[in-house]
Amino acid sequence: MDMVFLNGRFIAHDDATISIKDRGFLYSDSIYETLPIEQGRCLALPDRLHRLHSNLTHLGIEMPHTPDEWQRILSELIQHNEAQSGRYYIYLHVTRGTSPTRQLNIPSACTPTVLAFMGQVTPEQTQHYQRGFKVITVEDNRRRDRFIKATGLLPNIMAFNQAQEQSIDDIIYQHQGYALESSSSNLFIVEKDRLITPPANYQIINGITRQTVIELAKSLDIECEERLMTLDELRNADEIWLTASNKDIVPVIELNKQRIGNGKAGPFWHRLNDALREYKMTHSTLLTPPPSGEEPMTDNHENSSPLEFPCEFFVKIIMKNSDSSKEKVTAIIQRHFDQFDTDALSLRPSKNDNYLAFTAKLQVPEKAPLDALYKDLSDEPEVLMAL
């Protein structure tokens, strides 16, 4: 990845420099965000930019760009690095800017320093994430306000590298008998057919992938509790997962040198991992078109095969339950398939009636209306997932 974005310019990686008086460099007076990029698309980009804005506001730093400007910057960064296909991440780093002298008090006028660069998620890394991690628990000695994505990560660095020296993949922080999160990922366990994840309070970062997994679990009628998780629950869990933007859902196969389950990814991991893959196909922002001849966000399941048109096709739509849910779904479908009969639309409510799962049987003459349908479904705020 040879090109970076720094303060309004795209320049070579080796030519990128910042001031020695930059407050991000001197004090970690800065915020970061990691964006997952796959086939030129970013999952939940508006949510990530909103979190960046919120975190900057906590520090009293002005958001340096509008959402449209950010999208243009990210798109150009991908193109400059010829990263339209494959799996990558973009690291965003916004500091308060430079001070005239080294001082703790914040200068009255500071222009934020803005940096963005790319890294690749290799196939080998992806395979390792899917095979699973070995982790250990460590005492949490981080700052209190760790829900803010600030760049002062020295405790994370030290704990993570101590684990690496023992051939351990990651750590899980513990505090006063409770499990919190890993060095850079959120934590889930499966216990008696339900998910448990620590609550999004000052102790953890409320990850975008974490939020997505919770919504997907609800849509699949899997109970998910956001509450304190004891170390005993962690040790006795049927499954343990870590979730992060550049890793998706990682199964934990060993905790403190004790095997979890059969030492492989469990059945609930497979269900949620498949659901997340499908969700990414319809809820990602296209930042740049892929190279000529390549389809964006192709499905890489081993048993997948291209559709032959015309064909009969089933679309599954999961959305929040409301009095107008069925009418909204029908209207969106009939926008692209005017002969669609509502008798071909079945629905099933979730266990608590908060969500509805629709299945529509369509007669599809060609690919274009199907693609247009999925786009409209992904743009509908009440739709959680379209498969």
pLDDT (tens digit per residue) in 295-318: 443 333 333 334 567 888 888 788
Calpha distance 190→268 (Å, rounded): 8
Model confidence band, residue 289 (pLDDT cutoffs 50, 70, 90): low
Cα 314 from Cα 323, distance rounded (Å): 24
When pLDDT is cut at 50, 70 and 90, the band that residue 1 belongs to is low
Domains of the chain: 3-121 (3.30.470.10), 127-282 (3.20.10.10), 311-386 (3.30.70.260)
Q: What is the pTM of this model?
A: 0.72
Q: 240 and 254 in contact (C-beta within 8 Å)?
A: no
Of 244, 234, 273, nearest in space to 131 by CA = 273
Confidence of residue 352 (pLDDT cuts 50, 70, 90): low
Nearest to 266 by CA among 226, 298, 299, 222: 222
Share of the chain above pLDDT 90, in %: 58
pLDDT tens by residue, 205-237: 899 999 999 999 998 999 999 999 999 999 999
Portion of the chain with pLDDT greater than 70, in percent: 93
What mean pLDDT is reported for the chain?
88
Structure confidence at residue 387 (pLDDT)? 63
What local confidence, expressed as pLDDT, does residue 371 receive?
80
Sheet with strand 41-43: strands edge to edge: 9-12, 3-6, 113-120, 87-95, 30-38, 41-43, 284-286
Is the pLDDT higher at 202 or at 254? 254
Pick from 10-24, 194-208, 313-327: least confident: 313-327
> Which residue, 139, 49, 126, 134, is CA-closest to 92?
49
Flag whether pLDDT at 292 surpasses 60.
no
Residues 6+ away with beta carbon under 8 Å from 82: none
Fill in the amino acid letter for 219: S
- Check pLDDT > 70 for residue 291: no
The stretch 41-50 carries a mean pLDDT of 90
Give the mean model confidence (pLDDT) for residues 352-376.
Answer: 83
Residue with tokens 């520090």: 59
The pairing of beta strand 229-230 with beta strand 284-286: unpaired
Task: List the single range of 46-50, 103-107, 171-175 with lowest mean pLDDT.
Answer: 103-107
For residue 363, pLDDT over 80 is answered with: yes
252 or 101: whose pLDDT is higher? 252
